């Protein structure tokens, strides 16, 4: 039987949005460095969508 986790995903959505803003800012101002924020964006998106 699968157990339901009652943890809030709000923290992960917030971290995803912050890292997304940072990645977009890097794309605008320093495009060759946008990949530095890419792992954070993808990681927090996966956690927020509860794919793990």
Which pTM was predicted? 0.81
The position carrying tokens 């009652």 is 6
CA gap 34, 9 in Å, rounded? 25
Q: What is the pLDDT of residues 7-49, one digit of tens each?
A: 789 999 999 999 999 999 999 999 999 999 999 999 999 999 9
Helix (H) or strand (E) holding 41: helix 38-48
3-state secondary structure of 1: coil
Give 2's DSSP letter: P
CA-nearest of 12, 52, 4 to 20 is 12
* Res. 2: pLDDT tops 80: no
What phi and psi, each to the nearest 5 degrees, are found at residue 11? Answer: -65, -40
């Amino acid at each position: 039987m699968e157990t339901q986790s009652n943890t809030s995903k709000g923290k992960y959505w917030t971290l995803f949005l912050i890292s997304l803003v940072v990645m977009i800012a890097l794309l605008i101002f320093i495009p060759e460095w946008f990949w530095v924020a890419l792992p954070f964006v993808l990681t927090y998106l996966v956690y927020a969508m509860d794919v793990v």
